[in-house]
Chain A
């Protein structure tokens, strides 16, 4: 029984990390409905930012979060204003086309600058705590993961409040629902999209900085996390920030619990299988608005 409970707890902890990666996508794709194949690359850039600041200036990732977030915010806005804004004139598929190009450009740009070696950010505040463990009722909880999870939770709550409770957030939602109507009430959609891209990119950049504490840093690292992030946003439902969080936790738990009893090679297959199963009964995801 404790085995199952431990697996559930492990799953929740990983789920919070996944939520961290998915939260940026929840804005760009979940809310503004723009496809971004390069989402994982923004995360990867966040990881490289953390590594670079750590290895050249000795900054801890917790400190690096702010400058990296600002830099990637800028990158997100730039991506929208120079690329995606123009692509919006065309078909929705053109967004896939454009962001595939962006993916190739960013990933291999990093390869050109840093080579494809695996790098590790070591000796960080969080990793120094890595031996510390809480043991509640026989279930182990690693403190560093717990702290990362709490940070993810905090970001989520902040984002939820921003999108659902502020005027700015309402303007974002309005733009995504009906661009022309939004213009009529004085909202400038281009500005909204640019900020959404900046915010989404910055959030996943922060996710990268935090993940750099736990995972190796290399140019191709984006893929494994982003495929899950896409599933999570869709599972949670488009337009719902809290839906993304719930979906992330669900995904983490499904991944963790199924592998205790079933072949591990099918780990992600079970997650996506659950997506299909849930989709049969709720085609708009758990809490989707549209």
Chain B
């Protein structure tokens, strides 16, 4: 039974070492506000996780340092004035994109590190896993870019979301498509094909899209679900081409989107309208890459913010400069904007609460009524409905133009402000190759 003889000392040794290695928080008069940050920093969702990390680091910077001209919550002045100048400290954990690790690490953050607030996990799937845990411990949890509607439909009292969810976002896209004929758009769009990947995020979009397509009176001529990690989409493109939809509703991650574009190019096919919902359309690296090939021109999709209008705000520009310090020079994309806005809201809530008691924090959160002028994103404000979902996060519909940038095309008032006419129909691949590219 040498097994047993080894086990006890080994286990003891690990627990002792582990105990010393883990940080232990001892906040007296709150000198530090601990925000637990749980993110997928390695593994499949690492490209998302890293943007959220940079966003959180940006907010930590803004809160703890004095930016006198920056018009965002806690920009000027150091620390939390409502807590006597206490500083914000991020306690970061990497869950390797795994649900079981997420589940244990959040418990570590709550019971060992004794954080005051948890922000994470960044993906809807893993956030659903940690929701019941945090709910059980009774401290606030927030996820801002998580888009699955189910997160706020299960009646959790401690979960808050400032960003819009997919029901709102897909709704925007179909409202645009429905209203377009009366606002200078084509009048002969009748058929739609739905093309989504097979994971939680894509399938949520898929379900909502089918509902909306039916309500809007579009005929669904093809409905394909593909496996994530596909190495080729040639046959799928073939089927879509055969179905000949006017509109392609497209929800895929950046890697599969690149494969689709290559295969569609080989087949020489583009639908008249290409509408997306998040996925590649939100990914800054994909957008940058499209500037070299015009591959994204005329793609339209929903955005939580009118980025062409928001980026004119001086506060947006200033925050972007801070963000670039952490992101190795990458500009804020819409995901980062959602996360930064959300995290600034967290800081503002803690400040208004003037206390770190969970119940007081939750009340301050529920009482939020933030006005849009202090935000770098285009929500109408932050105010929560009964399910702790921000009801003022609506979002817009944008389109990528020939300049490689996104332009607002809906709602119509904002579109007028943006002064951009949508490209229609979607250009052929030869046209894309022929026209000048925004970047080399």
Contacts and interface: CB of A to CB of B under 8 A. Distances in A.
Interface of A: 3, 6-7, 10, 14, 17-18, 107-108, 111, 115-120, 122-123, 130-131, 133, 140, 142, 145, 214-216, 218-221, 223-225, 228, 255-260, 263-268
B44 to A, nearest CB: 6
Contact of B266 (A18, A145, A260, A264): A145
Given A131-B429, A264-B235, A267-B230, A3 B242 contact: yes
A263 B330 CA distance: 38
Interface stretch (B59-67, B281-289, B302-310, B373-381): B281-289
B47 A118 contact: yes
Interface string B227-269: 1011111111011001000000000001100110010011110
B225 A116 contact: no
12 contacts: A7-B238, A115-B50, A118-B255, A119-B289, A131-B430, A214-B262, A220-B46, A224-B230, A224-B231, A263-B224, A267-B230, A268-B227
A219 B234 contact: no
Contact of A256 (B47, B234, B266, B330): B234
Contacts of A255: 232, 235
Contacts of A130: 262, 265-266
A245 to B, nearest CB: 18
B46 A118 contact: no
Contacts of B225: 263-265
A284 B233 CA distance: 31
B386 to A, nearest CB: 36
Interface residues of B, number: 44
A256 B234 CA distance: 7
Interface in B384-440: 429-430, 433, 440
The residue in B47, B198, B286 that gathers the most chain A C-beta atoms within 10 A of its C-beta is B47
B239 A260 contact: yes
B293 A116 contact: no
Contacts of B198: 265
Contacts of B42: 107-108, 111, 116
Helix, strand, loop or mixed for chain B's interface?
A: helix
Contacts of B368: none
B47 A218 contact: yes
B266 to A, nearest CB: 4
Contacts of A142: 266
Contacts of A145: 266
B43 A120 contact: no
Most buried by B among A111, A214, A264, A268: A264
Nearest to B48: A116
B232 A14 contact: yes
Contact of A140 (B50, B266, B286, B433): B266
Contacts of B238: 3, 6-7, 10, 260
Given A118-B286, A142-B266, A257-B235, A215 B258 contact: yes
Contacts of B224: 263-264
B404 to A, nearest CB: 13
A214 B440 CA distance: 18
Contact of A216 (B226, B233, B258): B258
A122 B289 contact: yes
Interface in B141-175: none
Contacts of B433: 131
A259 B231 CA distance: 13
